[in-house]
Amino acid sequence: MTPNHTAHRSSPATARVAVVTGGSRGIGRAVSGRLARDGLAVVVNYAHDASAAEETVSAITTAGGRAIGVPADVADEDAVAALFDRTEREFGGVDVVVNCAGRLALSPIADLDLEVLDALHRTNIRGAFVTAQQAARRLRAGGSFVGFSTSVVGTRFPAYGAYAASKAAVESLTLILARELRGRDITVNTVAPGPTATDLFFEGKTDQEIDRLAKTPPLERLGTPEDIAQVVAFLAGPAGRWVNGQVLRANGGMV
């Protein structure tokens, strides 16, 4: 079975439906699994790694949930529109959109290759905008949009200039979208994780750097993808309906 193949059980038309971009790995995979456990049908979006998407879909369906994998580059407006079209055909509508897709590039500002900057911002800013645009057009009443930023917007660690700049843009986009959707009963928030134990976080870091970052929060550990998925589930679920237009820094107490 390819991840683009339907893999879900029949469900009532009233079931809630989530689209999770970048949903096949890391935090996105944890979010996909958690929302599925909460009873949502989940569309696991991925860019290139079909095998990771298949693993995520299989884990959900084996546990009795409903999921399909759908490829799309989040910065491609036609591909993202097709992603939402497929979601509506398969499950009848869209209630939750979680934009986990993102890139990370670390470099001092003086040394960063501008082609790397363009690629990072294409995914992190344009991709966030395209996904938010489709969410604004498609989400049903009672729905939620959850974007992803980073706590580095506040901590301002060296070498994170390009990444933090892209995520600061996401925060502004999210807060404005929340106000633009006035009257539609749709919440819009952003989660800003601190250091979280994912492949993306570990890439290119020494053991000493990882240990230092793990000790930065007062809780003195790295976050886990499941920690962040819990926050997303709260914002997307009934308990989070009064939280709107906010950036929630899930980082163990970092400033």
Active-site residues, by number, are: 163
Residues 6+ apart with CB under 8 A from 176: none
Alpha helices in 92-148 (DSSP H): 114-121, 127-138
If DSSP codes are grouped into helix, strand and coil, which group holds residue 198? coil
Round to whole Å and give the CA distance between 89 and 80.
14
Comparing CA positions, the residue from 8, 20, 81, 85 lying closest to residue 53 is 20
Helices 225-236 & 26-37 angle (0-180, nearest 10): 50
Q: % helix / strand / coil in the chain, to the nearest 5?
A: 45, 20, 35
Backbone angles phi, psi at 5, to 5 degrees: -85, 140
Cβ atoms of 251 and 223 closer than 8 Å? yes
Number of Cβ atoms within 10 Å of the Cβ of 45: 34
